[in-house]
């Protein structure tokens, strides 16, 4: 089996104390030098005038536009913003970190249903659209100027406004990489997703899954696409790739070993699919990702 290599993982220690609701850092910069890291606190990160930055969240690697807003609520999801192709002389970054216990007394109330759903979905990292950024821009722009109780009220309002854009936000990291259990409102989809997560290393057949939930293959295929937004084959590939990327990052296994360990039965096919989905080869991804990473 694989040998895990944790020597490069950095877990960052944040300045957030037990008596603080949240911590905010509002700064101007010309470059991003902080390494890939993870931390137990939830984080909302806003970047302005950062076009061309390389944003890494889990196994998602993307080039950012002029404005970028991402929410991360998993303690084990590695992330960072790298310089990439950004040449802006005046980048603004607003980072808000808050405890997972911040909403303990509110999270199960009816009034916070939207926020709760957003926080759950953000375990994989959520990237918000420009419409959401424009909606909350004035709030995030002035949040660092507010003090005490009024700062908390503004932050709660900001999160609530963002929760209306959850359906428009993009999920960044795959669940299999982020080690997050996939949830669905459909029991039949849950049953199939659980089976795939347990048997992704094996051959998974459409008719086998359809029988499992009492449907024909054609009907199940349409039902699965409707409920998940992906075809069954694409979903299985994404699950396998997530596990493969996790092994690339955390283990010393060879690329060929990872290929077969994650259910791909052909190395050249694995390399082709990987490059198509990640815009680089498995070897390039491993080399680019493997930096010192920190505990906040």
Per-10-residue mean pLDDT of the chain, 296 residues long, equals 46 68 91 88 96 94 96 93 93 93 79 90 96 96 91 93 95 90 82 93 93 94 91 94 93 96 94 93 88 50
Residues 224 and 126 in one domain: no
- 194: in domain: yes
- 181: in domain: yes
| Residues ≥6 apart with Cβ < 8 Å to 135 | 161, 162, 164, 165
pLDDT at 293: 52
Number of domains in the chain: 2
- 278: in domain: yes
Burial of 273 (C-beta count, 10 Å sphere; 0-12/13-18/19+): middle
pLDDT at 12: 61
Last residue of a domain, one of 173, 201, 219: 173
Residues 277 and 197 in one domain: yes
pLDDT at 248: 93
Residues 59 and 151 in one domain: yes
pLDDT at 97: 93
- 1: in domain: no
Residues 125 and 164 in one domain: yes
Residue 55 belongs to domain with CATH number: 2.60.120
In whole angstroms, what is the distance from residue 156 CA to residue 136 CA? 12
Q: What is the pTM of this model?
A: 0.84
- Identify the domain containing residue 285 by its residue range: 176-295
pLDDT at 2: 44
pLDDT at 270: 96
């Amino acid at each position: 089996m694989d040998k895990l290599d944790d020597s490069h993982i950095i877990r960052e220690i944040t300045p957030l104390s037990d008596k603080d609701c949240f911590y905010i850092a509002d700064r101007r910069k010309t470059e991003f030098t902080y390494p890939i890291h993870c931390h137990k606190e939830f984080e909302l990160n806003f970047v302005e005038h950062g076009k061309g930055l390389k944003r890494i969240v889990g196994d998602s690697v993307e080039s950012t536009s002029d404005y970028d807003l991402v929410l991360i609520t998993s303690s084990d999801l590695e992330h960072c913003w790298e310089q990439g192709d950004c040449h802006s002389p005046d980048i603004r970054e607003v980072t808000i970190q808050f405890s997972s216990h911040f909403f303990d007394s509110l999270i199960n109330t009816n009034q916070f249903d939207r926020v709760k759903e957003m926080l759950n979905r953000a375990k994989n990292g959520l990237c918000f659209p420009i419409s959401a950024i424009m909606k909350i821009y004035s709030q995030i722009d002035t949040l660092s100027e507010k003090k005490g109780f009024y700062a908390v009220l503004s932050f709660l309002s900001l999160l609530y406004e963002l929760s209306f854009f959850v359906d428009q936000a993009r999920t960044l990291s795959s669940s299999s990489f982020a080690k997050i259990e996939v949830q669905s409102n459909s029991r039949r989809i849950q049953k199939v997703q659980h089976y795939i997560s347990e048997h992704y290393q094996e051959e998974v057949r459409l008719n086998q899954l359809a029988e499992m939930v009492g449907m024909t293959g054609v009907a199940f295929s349409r039902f699965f696409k409707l409920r998940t937004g992906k075809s069954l084959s694409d979903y299985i590939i994404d699950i396998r790739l997530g596990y493969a990327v996790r092994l690339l990052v955390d283990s010393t296994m060879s690329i060929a070993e990872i290929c077969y360990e994650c259910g791909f039965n052909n190395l050249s096919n694995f390399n082709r699919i990987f490059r198509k989905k990640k815009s680089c080869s498995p070897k390039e991804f491993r080399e680019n990702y493997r930096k010192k990473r920190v505990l906040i």
